[in-house]
Chain A
Amino acid sequence: MTEWIISILLLIGGTFVLVGSIGLVKMPDFFMRLHGPTKATTLGMAALLTAAMIFFSTTQAGVSVKEILISLFLLLTAPISAYMMIKSAIHHKLDSIEKTQGKDNVEDEA
Chain B
Amino acid sequence: MRLETRFKWLPAPILSLLLFFVWLLLNNSVSLGHIVLAVILAIVIPLATSPFSTKQPLVIKPVLALRHILLVLYDIITANVQVAILILGPTKKLTPGFIKVPLDLTHSMPITILASTVSLTPGTVSAEVYPCSERFTEGESCEQRFLLIHVLDLKDEQALINTIKQRYETPLKEIFQC
Contacts and interface: CB of A to CB of B under 8 A. Distances in A.
Interface in A15-63: 16, 19-20, 22-23, 26-29, 31-32, 34-36, 38-40, 42-44, 62-63
B28 interface: yes
Q: Most chain-A CB neighbours within 10 Å: which of B76, B125, B132?
A: B125
Nearest to B94: A32
A63 B25 CA distance: 11
B99 A66 contact: no
B22 A69 contact: yes
Contacts of A32: 94, 96, 152
Contact of B83 (A39, A99, A105): A39
Interface of B: 22, 25-26, 28-29, 76-77, 79-81, 83-84, 86-88, 91, 94-100, 115-117, 119-120, 123, 125-128, 130, 132, 148, 150, 152, 154, 157
Contacts of B120: 38-39, 42, 75, 78-79
Contact of A86 (B79, B150, B157): B150
Contacts of B127: 83, 86-87, 90, 106
Contacts of B100: 102, 105
B31 to A, nearest CB: 11
B91 A28 contact: yes
Contacts of B26: 66, 69
B84 A40 contact: yes
Nearest to A65: B25
Contact of B25 (A66, A79, A82, A109): A66
Contacts of A68: 25
A29 B119 CA distance: 18
Q: Most chain-B CB neighbours within 10 Å: which of A31, A63, A65, A102?
A: A102
Nearest to B79: A39
A8 interface: no
Contacts of A82: 119, 125
Contact of A102 (B76, B91, B157): B157
